[in-house]
Structure 1
Amino acid sequence: MPIEVFCIDSYHSKDDPKPVVSSVKKNVYILFGILTGILLLSTIVLAVLFSIEKTKTIKPIAVKDELCLTPFCIKAANYLLESIDETIEPCEDFFKFACGTWLKNNRIPDDTGAQDTFNVLRTQLDNNVIDILTSPLPDDTIHIKAISNARRLYESCVNEIAIETDGVDTVLSVVDNELGGWPILHGQSWDETKFNLSKLLFKLREYNNNMLFQCGTATDDKNSSAYYIRISQSDLALEQKQYYINESKITQAYKQFIYELAKSLTNDSTMIENDVRDIYEFERKISHFHWTPADQRARQNDTIRTSLHNLSRILNTSFDFTNYVRQIYLSANVTLLDNDNVSISEVEFLRNASLLIDQHSPRTVQNYLIWRFMMNRAANMPKRYRTIKEQFERALRGTSAERPRSVTCGSYVNGNMGFAVAKLYIKKYFDENARNQSLEMIRNIRNAFIDMLEDSTWMDDVSKDKAKEKAREIDEKIGYPEYLGSDNITELEQEYEGYEFNSSYIHNILKVLQIKSQENFKTLRKPVDRKGWGLTPPTVVNAFYTPSKNQITFPAGILQMPFFNKDAPKYLNYGGIGAVIGHEITHGFDDNGRQFDKDGNRILWWTPETIERFNERKTCVVDQYSQYFLEQINTTINGNQTQGENIADNGGVKEAFYAYKKWIKANGNLDKKLPGLIKYSSEQMFFINYAQVWCSKMTDPYAMSRVLTGVHAPGQFRVLGPTSNFVDFDRVFSCKPGQGNSRLNKCTVW
């Protein structure tokens, strides 16, 4: 799924007098600015001369005519020069060439497990969100309730004094009075005769907690114009089943987390050690049946589709799933019908988890389910309890410090009321030029992909024509939904109706959980807006493809340097956001996306012959990435688990490159060179900026988690994989076939 870097500036209270700058100091500042400008220009000239001297084949250039000296170009040249390592031959290892200096000079922040371009941008976004939530509101937004409540939610989160005053009574009251109590806190006095699994899971789901079983509303994969009920496995506390196989520092830290949290909440410690052991052993047994991301991807066709009426008969478990599903939807005033469609995933897990519940005592099951609730709530409790969780997170992620409270709170508000935050973000930080330029790039890259489809030799004409039709039908969303840019606030206010908060953070947390749960259930009876924006707010650094909508989305948060800048040379934009655009388009035709037609329905729309040839080509990609060895943790990556992203990476960089070449052909090579980088052609700069985006470092625990659970390959392989398969990369850098960064047998799906 965020890593932050922070610098702490001196702080002045709003009550402190503002520092007065004398006229003498002002003159000094002006002189300093002039000297800085002269120094910067001298540096640029020296960089140009050095670059010319270093590459004798380059003729001296007329700086005025061919060198870009705009503030943006100087900044871009700086971050690229601080990234590449020219002692490395590009054809031998393009990742180390493009990122070698970056790797030497960048460190992993103490409060994160990794550092990369995405995380740097997320840090900036986090700071912008904090600014939005704390600065005086623009006059035209003061009256918007959604924004006022978002800021009130943030204020309650950063108010440590109030959080300490509230203590844990509210959480424990919910546990005791609504959830049946946490036995580990009550020693032998807990009454197991009151154990009611259905009621417990129902109440947990009311607080948006899916324990053991995941149940909620999703778009019907066979009918994208409607919703259905989806039941599947829930998550594991340690995320990945492999962690439970052997005892390790992570499992020890996890058990210590349970022990310390329970001990901090009770004076009766007589049963804690036994209960911790039983909780862990119960979850370890559950993990044995848990499907990994690779399992889920490989066994998508194992999903069962049925009606609510037949649900219990299909699952054949002692737990009454039909009644459970009816009750949780009824909590949101949604009455289910016998013929409502239900999709069941990971059926084997559901049956085995239900069987394990039958085989264990009520105390163990109650202890485990309440533990998972408390594990999530620990982050919302006073600092001494958060510190206990932080120790576990350090073992799991490899961190050594806690995130600043302001960042934690800003991220929380953005995650739950992101569209209210975005209303302010786009007014203050988003450049509208990004929308028009991005639309043009999407059009050009889409056309490049259609050309690639046309040139395909492995697709028959029937499948090829349908694929081209799907590509043309892809809906694009850029920046933000239209209503956020409008003076009409009706839709925004409706979006957050009921999101009314007070000064109690834990009260607000519990209310948000209940609201989110009800929103999901109520969606079942709503019409699907296939052209709507979706659930992810514009204030994220990411991009998306949604199969059920055949839609690509590029939120405002990602439309910034090094991905995009309106003043950037086209080779930077196409190598940055262009490759991301191509990546998302290609997702419509990867191992998962290709199963959905142009209308977002999961049906067979390719011929069997074309599907067979596709599978042969994707197998090449799977095998290639399965051989990549991450030396840092002495393990190979999972080519099956990451295949969709790898296919998208390989296709995306090609589409963006071909689109850029067509742009040059249509417009002439108007791009000027960057200072200090004049030796590189525009095509080479395209690849350099593409690779720079994936410069990354990880702690060992974070790297292991990434390999075990992530669907993306680590950054270095997102560079090496696509460039080694691309003949135009070989041509641009004059690489010989079979050289380090050039595969002899190139894997090509798109």
Structure 2
Amino acid sequence: MAVGVRTPMPVQTKLRPGPPTRQLPKMGQSQSQQVCTTPACVHTSSYLLGNIAPPVMWEKVDPCTDFDKLVCHGFRETTSGAQFGLHISKPRSQRVIRLMLEGTYEEAVGYQSTNLRPRTDNVDEHNFNMLRQFYQSCMDKNAIKKAGIDPLVGLVKGIEKLWPVDADDLDAKLDSSDLEGLSKAAAFLMDFGVRTFFTYGYADRRIATTADPNDNKIRRYVLNIPSLTLQAQYDLSGYKNPNKTIAAEAMVRAALSPVFPTRLEDEQVAKLATGVIKFEAEMAKAIEPLMTLALQEEKAGVKGAGEKLVTLTELAKLAPSIRLDKILSTILPGGYVPDKVTLFLPEAWPLIDKVVLDSPKKVVQSWLVFNVVSALASHTHSTELEMLGAKAGDSHTTDPGTSGDTPDRCLEYTLVELDHLVDRFYVNATYTDLGRKYADELTTNIRAEFRKRLTKVPWMGEEAKKRAVKKVDNLVQNIGYPTSKYLDLRSPQSLASFYSHLNITSNYFANVLSIRYNLVRKQAESITRPIDREEWELVPDMSAHVAGASYYAPMNTIYMNAGLSQLPFYHPDLPQYVLYGGLGSVIGHEITHGFDSTGRKYDENAKESDWWDNSTVTAFKDRAQCFIDQYSNYKIKTPGETYEDMGEATLGENISDAGGLAIAYNAWLAERKAKPDVWDQHLPGLEKFTHEQLFFITYGSWWCDGLEDEARARYFKTSDPAHAPGIHRIKGGIANSRAFKEAFQCKNKEPQCEMY
């Protein structure tokens, strides 16, 4: 017998005959009617009604087994592609930002007032004008088309000037006379964030410094291995696939042919392209076994797997031909010399150095040129470079000078390249004082609930519990937008200082280089200041306008972006069950990350250590295996292939989903009990559901997606392997929730897996 949506069960929230008396501000709306009719409630109700199955299906769909079909039926019919429920506010946010970029400064600051400090108009207006001028330079399609690939050719000329290499002998190897020029050319490209022999920061990050593993108050530069063309995260197997190497060679040919100032014959270009991919293949061959070992050690819990602190002298000796120390020294702040840097895979560097020495010098130079084209071709106009496709740019896939929707691309470029300038004016337009206050209060309440739950976790030892509670107490919650000493979004002067190396003109390509130069310099300069746990730059892509949230284990900090705290899931006028089921479940998720398979390795001082006793570790692993088995059994069937969720790879996220949902729900119950005078009304059109059920319907709506099964499998295998597909997050989340099963009167009330 199908367990459909029940007649609303009695709940603790009691509707009163008259308007409530309460002291403002408190979370949740307060109207005297039983049904909330504020614009926020109407907006959210309309969204949820459009997402879920139509009323005729409510009694036919069993939420205990097919909850995803109940909450996502409408979403799947109206949405296509990799768009998710939690990102539904993105189009609205982008419309707001586009209106600002296409308007005047007076219009941009004419929106509702927020926490932003009183501005110094000339500085604030200067910041806005830089933002708008960059957008306008990107929109100037004719100027970009007229420039063609000349800007790229200019950079290649810069490489050749610093390191002249004769094209007549394509087989000539490097000798001692080449080393100075090679290091200067690599340093020249590093100034503009172009990858060369080492990736400046972690492979998946734009940051250049991180906390010292032994003292998280000290910053260290991070030098990673080269990022290679056929590398997919840590997978280098592409170089063993002939089809992929042939395609890569074609891509290199397309990149090299038009940009060398002295045109090469087709045969020369073909030989160099083959040489470039062979050069990368040899580096991959040297790196792969060491990377595999490091990943195995990391999986086994080895602290600092694959990393080593080295002095600049040691760095120089590891790869004397490449001169890593010389390349790094070119971006160091004046007079600063680091005592040590964090080097990834130190054993690989002598092998990489040998590959460089054994390779033809023109091939190595061509590799540098190819890296320039890969990074920057998307910012030029060239029909010759169009075949590079998605590889022709580290952030973008097509250039603003070619056909297509230029405004959309230029908006995206602006959001990425000048994110914090965008953030200031976006926050001013969309994020009120009250909204930030409530989000902070929501976080505090959920954090308090998790603290309480930790004291009752049966499998943790008493000492582990005490230290875990202390870790929750030490958590720093960064809400909405940056307010650190380094970058305070409320201060125009702080923003101007953050972009102090930036010079925006009408020349789009020059603007791109200036932005990259500013980013590299600011990253390098950060080494001279102490770590601030309120600093958003510690976490990659943590921009206030982005619909995202994050937990950063080495600092024990969480970040809840203003871009996530938007309708339809968040607004101060919404009922508490929506606030806690929506944003609250994400807050709980991020807090739980501090105690998942990775976060648990960091103690109450955010130091990586073995702070749990053996029995607690064993008990954690036993329960973790339940999650691994559960999610590994979830499958997506596609024609000719069945995708199995990687339960081990997604473990941390799945533990955090379960913990976050549980603590958000209990925090809501505690809030409802503590503040009975807050009027928790029904949502219009959804009166059939209890408030408990609507809590979970709101939660489930976060993870709806518009993907077909084949595209869904491909997306999560290649683009986001650390997270389970949304459909599995819905299934797993409610399967592990006792409260859900009670709300929908499921027969079996026991959670399938439970950690916290």
**Residue 722 (structure 1) shift:** 1.8
Q: 1:205 aligns with which of 183, 190, 206?
A: 190
Residue equivalent to 1:223: 215
Moved more, 643-652 or 210-219: 210-219
- 2:33 and 2:601 mapped to 1: Cα distance? 50
**Residue 54 (structure 1) shift:** 9.7
CA 1:667–1:404 in 2, change beyond 3 Å: closer, same or farther? same
Contact 2:80 2:707 in 1 (8 A): no
- 1:122 and 1:653 mapped to 2: Cα distance? 23
**Residue 327 (structure 1) shift:** 3.8
Residue equivalent to 1:455: 456
The residue type paired with residue 435 of structure 1 is R
Q: 1:646 aligns with which of 654, 672, 675?
A: 654
Contact 1:312 1:320 in 2 (8 A): no
**Residue 548 (structure 1) shift:** 2.8
5+ residue gaps, structure 1, are 1-52, 109-113
1:488-503 alignment runs, 5 A limit: 488-503=491-506
Residue equivalent to 1:214: 199
Residue equivalent to 2:681: 672
Residue equivalent to 1:162: 143
Residue equivalent to 1:545: 551
CA 1:652–1:701 in 2, change beyond 3 Å: closer, same or farther? same
**Residue 481 (structure 1) shift:** 3.2
Residue equivalent to 1:690: 699
Structure that is richer in helix per residue: 1
Contact 2:482 2:534 in 1 (8 A): no
The residue type paired with residue 95 of structure 1 is D
Confirm or deny that 1:526 pairs with 2:529.
Answer: yes
Confirm or deny that 1:344 pairs with 2:343.
Answer: yes
Moved more, 133-142 or 719-728: 133-142
Confirm or deny that 1:89 pairs with 2:62.
Answer: yes
Contact 1:179 1:203 in 2 (8 A): no
- 1:264 and 1:179 mapped to 2: Cα distance? 15
The residue type paired with residue 670 of structure 1 is W
Moved more, 473-482 or 551-560: 473-482
Pairs aligned (count): 681
Q: SS at the partner of 1:343? A: strand
Confirm or deny that 1:67 pairs with 2:42.
Answer: no
Q: SS at the partner of 2:546? A: coil
Deviation track 1:445-494 (CA, whole Å, cap 9, x = no partner) reads: 11111122011011111110111011012111212234898875322221
The residue type paired with residue 235 of structure 1 is S
Deviation track 1:536-583 (CA, whole Å, cap 9, x = no partner) reads: 331211112122332111121111023311211111111110011001
- 1:357 and 1:96 mapped to 2: Cα distance? 56
Contact 1:116 1:696 in 2 (8 A): yes
Residue equivalent to 2:299: 298
Contact 2:312 2:341 in 1 (8 A): no
- 1:287 and 1:191 mapped to 2: Cα distance? 22
Contact 2:587 2:660 in 1 (8 A): yes
1:399-438 alignment runs, 5 A limit: 404-438=405-439
1:256-267 alignment runs, 5 A limit: 256-265=250-259
- 1:222 and 1:455 mapped to 2: Cα distance? 31
Q: 1:655 aligns with which of 656, 659, 663?
A: 663
- 1:735 and 1:58 mapped to 2: Cα distance? 14
The residue type paired with residue 716 of structure 1 is I
Q: 2:79 aligns with which of 93, 101, 106?
A: 106
- 1:58 and 1:224 mapped to 2: Cα distance? 50
- 1:646 and 1:281 mapped to 2: Cα distance? 40
**Residue 238 (structure 1) shift:** 4.5
TM-score normalised per structure 2: 0.81
Residue equivalent to 1:324: 324
The residue type paired with residue 507 of structure 2 is S
The residue type paired with residue 328 of structure 1 is L
CA 1:526–1:559 in 2, change beyond 3 Å: closer, same or farther? same
Residue equivalent to 2:22: none
The residue type paired with residue 755 of structure 2 is V
Confirm or deny that 1:635 pairs with 2:650.
Answer: no
CA 1:319–1:100 in 2, change beyond 3 Å: closer, same or farther? farther
Residue equivalent to 1:509: 512
The residue type paired with residue 570 of structure 1 is Q
Q: SS at the partner of 2:266? A: coil
5+ residue gaps, structure 2, are 18-30, 110-118, 201-207
Deviation track 1:433-455 (CA, whole Å, cap 9, x = no partner) reads: 21121122112111111122011
1:34-49 alignment runs, 5 A limit: none
Contact 1:294 1:640 in 2 (8 A): no
Contact 1:231 1:342 in 2 (8 A): yes
Moved more, 251-260 or 635-644: 251-260
**Residue 345 (structure 1) shift:** 2.8
Moved more, 561-570 or 301-310: 301-310
**Residue 210 (structure 1) shift:** 3.0
CA 1:130–1:65 in 2, change beyond 3 Å: closer, same or farther? closer
**Residue 205 (structure 1) shift:** 1.9
Q: 1:117 aligns with which of 85, 89, 97?
A: 85
**Residue 685 (structure 1) shift:** 0.7
Contact 1:188 1:271 in 2 (8 A): no
- 1:428 and 1:95 mapped to 2: Cα distance? 34
Q: SS at the partner of 1:270? A: helix
Contact 2:423 2:543 in 1 (8 A): yes
CA 1:581–1:456 in 2, change beyond 3 Å: closer, same or farther? same
Contact 1:586 1:651 in 2 (8 A): yes
**Residue 510 (structure 1) shift:** 1.6
The residue type paired with residue 598 of structure 2 is N
TM-score normalised per structure 1: 0.81
Contact 1:707 1:713 in 2 (8 A): no
Deviation track 1:357-405 (CA, whole Å, cap 9, x = no partner) reads: 44443343333332122111111111535633347689x9999x98732
Moved more, 284-293 or 67-76: 284-293
**Cα RMSD, aligned residues only:** 3.7
